[in-house]
Amino acid sequence: MSEPLWTYEDVAAHLSISWRTVRRWAGESRLPIIKVGSLNRFDADRIRTEAAGGLLPYPESAPSASEEVA
């Protein structure tokens, strides 16, 4: 039996990013989504493969100390 499809939260936990970033990337077609009715889901195997191969977008880097606003 194949693994169930992942939610935004599942992908976020696997990639160590926020679910909001996953949602934004999915909306920008930067992550492969599977539509299930009105819901977006993600193929766990494909996310793992693309993450391991460096094919997924990188999270935006945090601002450096000199770029932070006081």
Convert the pLDDT of each residue in 42-60 to its tens digit: 999 999 888 887 777 665 5
In the chain, which residues have pLDDT < 50? 1, 61-70
Q: What is the CA radius of gyration of the chain?
A: 14
Centroid of chain to Cα 65? 26
pTM, to two decimals: 0.72
- Alpha helices by DSSP H, the chain: 8-15, 19-27, 44-52
Rounded to an integer, what distance in angstroms lies between the CA atom of residue 21 and that of residue 30? 11
